[in-house]
Amino acid sequence: MAPLVSVIIPTYNREKIITRAIESVMAQSYQDFEIIVLDDGSQDTTKAVVEAYGPKVRYFYQDNKGIAGARNGGMRHAEGEYLAFLDSDDYWLPAKLERQMGLFGDHPEYGMVACQCGSVQVDGAYREKNRPGKSGWILYDLFNKNFIRTSSAVITRPCLEKIGGFDESLREGEEYDYWLRIAAEFAIGFINEPLTVYVDNTDGMSTDSLTGRLHRLKVLEKKYLRKKIPFKMYRRRIADTCHYIGRHYLEKGNRQEGLAYLKKAQKLHPAYLKNLAYLVLNLARII
């Protein structure tokens, strides 16, 4: 009999820390699960570390495809009616799955249930709570601000069958795109308690960085969102993202790109006074 939940752990060269993620799943108070580790082309001893757990963990290897491809690879091997995601540098608290499966029981209409996260910062400091969220039909809320971490999310099999996998053309921001696609079709549950711990690392990319915001803009400008999001809300969110991209470019000394994004933001949202101030100031410097 197949387990009810498939826990998908994508990994790449995480031999030193993947055991923490695996063992946090094994320590769950809810035990009807399988663990799938999808190794996305590791060149270290990840395979040996994972296979030391024996049949408790199903290990699969593929050539490197990036994080979206790794998650999709794990999903293809999943046998459960629910699919839970856990990045190999994060970990769960013991009641995480039990609380989420309980919420699915109360709300079978949910396509996904996520939860709040604690975080371990690069300097080792622990923050108990991050990104409070909402339950229900939350597409507009998610469009305005992403409050779902990948390692907190559990989706249903019908959700997967309707939405499909992660967009492998996105090298970053693929998780935000996935939540938005789900929210456009399903109600979502959110538990405002930190049941997952997200670990910051120097290899990761901040969504507040220039690269992060450029990928976010690519996600937000997808055609289906233009149809789903109210006109004014859509333009303001895109304008805000363009504003910060423009500021990043200006800080890096790229005035041409910086001004182009500030102008785009102003065109989208003419009453955007903060953007207008930056635009006028930097145009004056050119003159």
Q: pLDDT of 92-130, one tens digit each?
A: 999 999 999 999 999 999 999 999 999 988 777 888 778
Q: What is the pLDDT of residues 180-234, one digit of tens each?
A: 999 999 999 999 999 999 988 755 445 568 998 999 999 999 999 999 999 999 9
pLDDT of residue 205: 45
Tell me the C-alpha to C-alpha distance, in Å, between residue 21 and each of 57, 86, 89, 175.
12, 7, 7, 19
Secondary structure element (H or E) that encloses residue 39, with its range = strand 33-40
Residue 262 has pLDDT above 80, yes or no: yes
pLDDT averaged over every residue in the chain: 94
CA angle centred on 154, ends 21 and 100, rounded to 5°? 90
Q: What is the DSSP string of 155-200?
A: EEHHHHHHH-S--TT-SSSHHHHHHHHHHTTSEEEEEEEEEEEEE-
Q: What is the pLDDT of residues 215-229, one digit of tens each?
A: 999 999 999 999 999
Give percent of the chain above pLDDT 70: 97
Residue 60 has pLDDT above 80, yes or no: yes
Q: Where are the domains of the chain?
A: 5-199, 230-286
HEC secondary structure over 92-147: ECCCHHHHHHHHHHHCCCEEEEEEEEEEECCCCCEEEEECCCCCECCHHHHHHCCC
**Which numeric CATH code is attached to 5-199?**
3.90.550.10
